[in-house]
Amino acid sequence: AQSVTQLDSQVPVFEEAPVELRCNYSSSVSVYLFWYVQYPNQGLQLLLKYLSGSTLVKGINGFEAEFNKSQTSFHLRKPSVHISDTAEYFCAVLINTNAGKSTFGDGTTLTVKP
Amino acid sequence: GAVVSQHPSWVICKSGTSVKIECRSLDFQATTMFWYRQFPKQSLMLMATSNEGSKATYEQGVEKDKFLINHASLTLSTLTVTSAHPEDSSFYICSAPTSSNEQYFGPGTRLTVT
């Protein structure tokens, strides 16, 4: 079975500072990787995904993530955050044979302070 | 992009009554949909997989007689919380996977049982 660990439950950061949200996974087979953002009382919105190809993927809102197979990591980064980036962020893995059933991390609360 | 809607967005009901939540894929067909439950400050917990034209598959620990799922068409799945109790109060989110291994999430339904 696969699992996802988001290493930081809360990340406070000042506006315009860089941020990294860490995600590690474990799986015995190849996986697809995703980052989602959730604003209060809303569903999840896809930020970016890694399916294959280049290990550096760029997403919406200036976010990017790098897939590191040897370290089984998929950390999310943004060089300069805004107040509006304050939200909950979830890392997820999907096994191709699992009919779309993803496994989610526990989430990281990003709080951007002015 | 693909859109998934949920209705209602929030509902308040009395203990002992039943509540139905709808999940619709608006511009694509979904033979499979997923139902999640999310408690405050926590991750998504998969409750069940809804399969069009067949019985839903429930995750361990989820009462199938309490959380009735019907997937009557390729664009609609419903979750009915029967004989609701205050402990059923939660945020319920549905999602639908696409052929490109992405999941599109509904905006969620906030259920409050009084």
Kindly state whether A100 is in contact with chain B, defined as any CB-CB distance less than 8 angstroms: yes
- Write the single-letter amino acid at B72: A
Kindly state whether B27 is in contact with chain A, defined as any CB-CB distance less than 8 angstroms: no
Q: Note the pLDDT of residue A42.
A: 85
Query: Average of pLDDT values for B65-75?
Result: 94
* Residue B60, pLDDT above cutoff 80: yes
Residues present in chain A in total = 114
* Residue A26, pLDDT above cutoff 80: yes
Q: How far is A71 from chain B (nearest CA, A)?
A: 23
Query: Average of pLDDT values for B15-26?
Result: 96
Q: How far is B15 from chain A (nearest CA, A)?
A: 23
Q: Retrieve residue B44's tokens.
A: 């998504």
Query: Average of pLDDT values for A65-77?
Result: 95
Instruction: Quickly state the pLDDT bin for B1 (edges 50, 70, 90).
Output: low
Instruction: Quickly state the pLDDT bin for A98 (edges 50, 70, 90).
Output: low
Residues A91, A74: Cα–Cα separation, whole Å: 8
CA distances, A18 to each of A48, A76, A80, A83, B55 (Å)? 18, 11, 5, 12, 47
User: Which are the contacts of B55, defined by CB distance < 8 A and separation ≥ 6?
Assistant: none
Q: Note the pLDDT of residue A31.
A: 86
| A52-89: b (≥16 Cβ within 10 Å) or e | eeeeebebeeebbbebeeeebbbbbebeebeeebbbbb
Residues of A in contact with B110 (CB under 8 A): 41
* Residue A110, pLDDT above cutoff 80: yes
